[in-house]
Amino acid sequence: MQALHAGRIEIFGENIAPTGVFGLGGKNGMAYVPQDRHVEGLLLTALLWENAALGYQTRAPFSKGMWIDRAGSRTRTDEIREAFDVRSPNAEVSAHALSGGNQQKLIIGREMTSDPKFLIAAHPTRGIDVGAQSDVWGKLRDARANGLATMLISADLDELIGLSDTIMVMFHGQLVATLDPAEVTPRELGKYMTGAASMSDSTTVPTEVQA
């Protein structure tokens, strides 16, 4: 993630650029599934409920005023574990103890249960087993069906074609194609991704992306 130098980021008409994507704590309705869960997503030596609270620690049920609400956090964590099939004995084990897939399901659960308006999911199934992958895809489909605006960033072509409504391809910082997943083939998509082809009508990055 880089600092914003210019432009606006609007979510439902509200400019969130001043506070940035980081440091939102979910406050602006922005949810984020980072591409590297160990680097950006988890506190590995902290407990599951603490990880479930991360980013949302300023609001209920994770806190009350200036205090952490441990009971509320645990209850919410158990709900996430149940709904997102995070296989773990309880909310009191450290995130370290979980498999990659279960860690990822915990993050997705955390980001999707706090009523987001906009979800950025970066490589959400990278490095996880097939079962967890299909769970994550199912959750992203559900979210889309429920009207959650989702930006899926991925290098997995089947994932992109299978989940997206619209696919936009970027190459060297430029938007090179806007494609319909119902028509595009992985081979064609690959051409745009590697810069072998580009659409002449969309060579500039839009300065405003609106959800």
Partner 1 sequence: MNMTLGRRVLLATAAPAMALFVALLVSSAVLIASGSNPLEAFSEMVKNGVKLEVIIDTLNRATPLFLSGIAAAIGFKMNLFNIGVEGQYQLAAFAAAVVGANVVLPGVLHVGLIILVAMVVGALWSGLAGVLKTERGVNEVIGTIMLNYVVTNGIIAALYTHVIDKGNANNAGTPANDESGWLPDLNGVVELFTREIQKGRKLTGMLAIAIVVGIFYHLLVNRSRIGFDLRASGINPVAARAGGVPPKRMVIMSMLIGGVIAGLVGLPEIVGNNHSYDQGFVKGLGFLGIGVALLGRNKPLGIALSALLFAFLDSSAGVLQFSGTASKEIVVIMQATILFAAVIAYEVVNRIRLREEVKSASLTTGATA
List 24, 148, 149, 211, residue binding partner 1 (CB under 8 A): 24
Q: Does 113 bind partner 1 (CB under 8 A)?
A: no
Per the CB < 8 A criterion, the answer to whether 76 and 109 are in contact is no
Distance CA 56, CA 209 (A): 25
List 17, 60, 71, 93, residue binding partner 1 (CB under 8 A): 93
Token duo for residue 89: 């004995």
Q: Does 86 bind partner 1 (CB under 8 A)?
A: yes
User: For every residue of 31-79, which 3-state class applies, written as one string?
Assistant: EEECCCHHHHHCCCCCEHHHHHHCCCCCCCCCEECCEECHHHHHHHHHH
Total residues contacting partner 1 by CB under 8 A comes to: 47
Q: Does 55 bind partner 1 (CB under 8 A)?
A: yes
Per the CB < 8 A criterion, the answer to whether 62 and 73 are in contact is yes
Amino acid at residue number 164:
S
List 63, 113, 198, 202, residue binding partner 1 (CB under 8 A): 63
List 34, 101, 116, 124, residue binding partner 1 (CB under 8 A): 34
Three-state DSSP state, 75: helix
Q: In angstroms, give the least distance from the CB of 39 to partner 1.
A: 5
Q: In angstroms, give the least distance from the CB of 106 to partner 1.
A: 10
Per the CB < 8 A criterion, the answer to whether 95 and 46 are in contact is yes
Q: Does 196 bind partner 1 (CB under 8 A)?
A: no
What are the residues binding partner 1 (CB under 8 A)?
1, 22-27, 32, 34, 39-46, 50, 53-58, 63, 66-68, 70, 78, 81-82, 84-91, 93-94, 96-99, 102
